[in-house]
Amino acid sequence: MADGAGSSAFGWDVRGRVSCGVALTAGKLSRLLRAGSGDVIGGTIGLKLDPALLEKLGAGREVCLVSGTNGKTTTTRFLADALRTRQAHDLITSQGGANLPSGLVVALAAGRAGAPAVLEVDEAYLGIALLALAPKVVVLLNLSRDQLDRTSEVRMLASRWREVLKSSPSPVVIANADDPLVAWAAMGVPGVVWVAGGQGWHVDAVACPCCGEPLSFTIGGWSCSCGFARPSVQAWLEGSELHMADGRRWEFHLRLPGDFNRANAAMAAVAAQAMGVDINDALARMEKVESVSGRYALRPVAEASQPGHIQACARFILAKNPAGWAEAFGILFPRPAPAVVAVNARVADGRDPSWLWDVAFERLRGRLVVATGERCYDLSVRLAYAQVEHITLQSGLEALLAASERASSMSLRAFDVVANYTAFQHLQRALPAAIRCGCQQGGDLGCGDLVTQPTHPTPTDATPTGAAPVTDAAPVTDATPTGAALRKEARTIPARHPSRSEVCIANIFPDLLGTYGDGGNAVVLARRLEWRGIPAQVVQVQAGTPVPEHADLYCLGGGEDAPQARAAELLRLSGSLAKAVDSGAVLLAVCAGFQIAGEEFSGPSGSRLAGLGIIPAVSVRAKGRRAVGEVTSRPVRGSGSLGLAGELLTGFENHAGITTLSPVVSPLGKVLKGVGNGTAGGGEGALHGRVVGTYMHGPVLARNPKLADWLLEMALGPLPPVDLNLSGDTEVAVSRLRAERL
């Protein structure tokens, strides 16, 4: 153990000293054996030996914590650099994104006793860190959907923050006033400093966290009819200036790209001030940051065997969740620069890649995309349905080389790599080490100037005329046929409404029931019709707007408890969905939607709420753990005879509900893996006339195209096969994805 390292904080506390020493040694060993960074294993062992270790390590030092879904690592880096103006040598800070309690233990144990610390904290562990470390300053950045298999619901996280902030010893809280969930968590905390950091992603806060009514967003504000509104701010951004309510302002220009990084810098600057640093000095330090843990760095791409043969540089961008991908897409090199996109679904990434359908991949049209990572086939399916030209390569290095080659064939010197957490690390390692060193003198390669190159929106940012633009707020709205899709002669439309020229698919309340990627089901249905030459239209029915009665197919998706209750109430009041189903429309109801379609379900506070009574079924909340994980089911005989024979269904479940079907209803399938309805018979979902209920996300129709085709045939009668020229390699990617999962 290093002299003066954290253990000396313990005085004569032998248990603390020993645990601290063991944590550091285990970490070192793990690094030596190349088993990992050593932070997790070392810290975990340390905490096992002494559960109070974090508290002991935090005692007697100034601590600043940074938490939120996105921007933690960058904000922590900005803040640490700013604090170095005051604390040149022994400032402790997080390394390599180790932000669980185990990582905090290792960071603190390796530093000097009493030295100040700036640490990033995983949003789900903020409570533990707050109580153990009694920080002086806490920075709350934002909350949005991420790793829902671990965090369940964004709102649940916000309410945990709210509880712990109420009860923790009062730190100075620097909170992003532009994020309603952060505002809800921090409202009422004494000493909170509100910063308008900006927040492009509002999709997880459409319903007021206080009363459930819709929040309205205006430029520079948000409010609800119940009175909950954006608090007045003490600091805000205006272009490249940071303003304070007392009239002071500072102009700053970061090397890191994107509005979101300016917001991170604003939060860090206000936090630095609370830690006693002059804002001018703080911003000057932040302006110098060029890359953070490999992010935004340009790396030349070459094979190990041909280190001199560099075609183009890769700029690495980390994006872990839909809000992060939306930010990443905003800073990409302009089209037609190719891009590598890489996704894994390990524990650290979140095991359910359904969120890919909440990302507006349509924005990548007009450039070659190379899909890679352990979930490259999920990506490929998503890209195909988004009509993005792409190739799929399992090998990370091959993917980088392919993009590099394409870039250089277009005389471009750089391209972007957007990857989620472990995929990012794997791709960084895929580049040969020798070349990696070269990159650190990136200027030699002459591509540094490309970093600041702006992106120019082109008409392909929007969908073809008449369709809603592809936005991040409604990422999967685009199902309007493109020219390519309609090259084939249009067939007669077998739609329910004789006057209509397109099959109509209504996606119900994507703003309330769109948390788990299920909006993709409507897109899959529409594309599979277009690939048969049948024009289709997806109508996104936002909450509060009339529900159409004459659509051919309806989709209900999964959602959080409170928005689910609101959706049920609106649908009951409207009555249109029940009427449409009565008159023969097909309904696919997923998870929260499945519960809503039943007779009764459990509301957010455990109360019993009325469903629509479309499926004779009742859902209650399970007492134990949520059902989270992969599900496989074998369709029951009734459904098999209708076109699913021999087909296994695959999906990802994430729910607290247990659903009991009335004896007159058949389950959709028998569970082979996972929980499904959670009742004794081992059933999954429900099949009731033209209504299909299921707990499967994925989205279920992307992972089970036969189920999609079966629903379409149920609605429209026998259909011709899809035109493989139009569907591209979708079927190949789907079958690979299914083979991985089944």
- Interface ranges with ligand GLN (CB under 6 A): 516, 558-561, 564, 591-592, 654-657
| 410 Rama sector, left if φ>0, alpha if ψ -120 to 50, beta otherwise | alpha
Pick 537 or 654: Cβ nearer ligand GLN: 654
In angstroms, the Cα distances linking 218 to 181, 202, 215, 628 are 16, 11, 10, 36
Distances (CA, A) of 55 to 13, 170, 171: 13, 16, 16
Q: Considering beta carbons, is residue 558 or 674 the nearer one to ligand GLN?
A: 558
Instruction: Give the residue nearest to ligand GLN (CB).
Output: 558
Q: What Cα–Cα distance (Å) separates residue 522 from each residue in 309, 505, 540, 652?
A: 45, 6, 9, 18
Minimum gap (Å) between residue 635 Cβ and ligand GLN: 21
Q: How far is the CB of 655 from ligand GLN (least distance, A)?
A: 3
| Residue 372 or 515 with smaller CB distance to ligand GLN | 515
Which of 426/655 has CB closer to ligand GLN?
Answer: 655
CA atoms within 13 A on the CB side of 532: 22
Q: Which is nearer to ligand GLN, 149 or 416 (CB)?
A: 149
Of 558 and 669, which has the nearer Cβ to ligand GLN? 558
Strand order in the sheet with 617-621: 608-610, 600-602, 617-621, 657-661
Token digits of residue 738: 């299914």
The least distance separating ligand GLN from the CB of residue 698, rounded to whole angstroms, comes to: 12
Torsion of CA 61, 64, 69, 75, to 10 degrees: -130
| Least distance to ligand GLN, CB of residue 475, Å | 18
- Cβ proximity to ligand GLN, 407 vs 591, nearer residue: 591
Q: Which of 82, 55, 120 has the alpha carbon at shortest distance from 275?
A: 82
Give the SS3 label for residue 79: helix
Q: How far apart are CA 149 and CA 147, in angstroms?
A: 5
Quickly tell me which residue has 């006693």 as its tokens. Answer: 276
Provide the token pair at 146. Answer: 């991420």
Residue 511 CB, shortest distance to ligand GLN, in Å, is 14
Q: How far apart are CA 539 and CA 477, in angstroms?
A: 8
SS3 track for 270-323: HHHHHCCCCHHHHHHHHHCCCCECCECCEEECCCCCCCCCCCCEEEEEECCCHH
Q: Least CB distance from residue 596 to ligand GLN, whole Å?
A: 9
> Among residues 568 and 707, whose Cβ is nearest to ligand GLN?
568
Q: What is the 3-state secondary structure (H, E, C) of 221-289?
A: EEECCCCCECCCCCEEEECCEEEECCCCEEECCCCCCCHHHHHHHHHHHHHHHHCCCCHHHHHHHHHCC
- We find the least distance from the C-beta atom of residue 466 to ligand GLN, in angstroms, to be 32
Helices and strands (H and E) in the chain: how many: 25, 31
Smallest gap from Cβ 558 to ligand GLN, in A, equals 3
Long-range contacts (CB closer than 8 Å, 24 or more residues apart) made by 734-738: 734/377, 734/381, 734/702, 734/703, 734/705, 736/377, 737/377, 737/378, 737/380, 737/381, 737/703, 738/650, 738/703
Whether omega before 336 lies within 30 degrees of 0, making that bond cis, reads yes
Q: Cα–Cα distance between 352 and 254 in angstroms, integer? A: 34
Read off the tokens for 307.
């280190």
By three-state DSSP, how is residue 411 classified? coil
- Which CB atom, from 127 or from 558, has the smaller least distance to ligand GLN? 558
CB of 692 to ligand GLN, least distance (A): 15
Nearer to ligand GLN, 57 or 596 (CB): 596
- Of the pair 428, 704, the CB lying nearest ligand GLN is at 704
Instruction: State how far the Cα of 349 lies from the Cα of 323, in Å rounded to an integer.
Output: 14
Which CB, 58 or 698, lies closer to ligand GLN?
A: 698
**Helices 520-530 + 376-385 axis angle, to 10:** 60
Nearer to ligand GLN, 49 or 622 (CB): 622
594 vs 603: CA distance, rounded Å = 14
Taking the complex as a whole, the smallest distance from the CB of residue 8 to ligand GLN amounts, in Å, to 47
Minimum distance from residue 697 beta carbon to ligand GLN (Å): 7
Nearer to ligand GLN, 539 or 567 (CB): 567
CA 34 to each of CA 5, 28, 94, 372: distance values in angstroms, whole numbers, following the listed order: 24, 10, 20, 24
Kindly calculate the radius of gyration of the chain based on its CA atoms and give it in whole angstroms.
Answer: 26
Please state the closest distance from residue 656 (CB atom) to ligand GLN, in A: 4
CB of 679 to ligand GLN, least distance (A): 14
Least Å from the CB of residue 554 to ligand GLN:
16
Q: ∠311-402-364 over CA atoms, to 5°?
A: 105
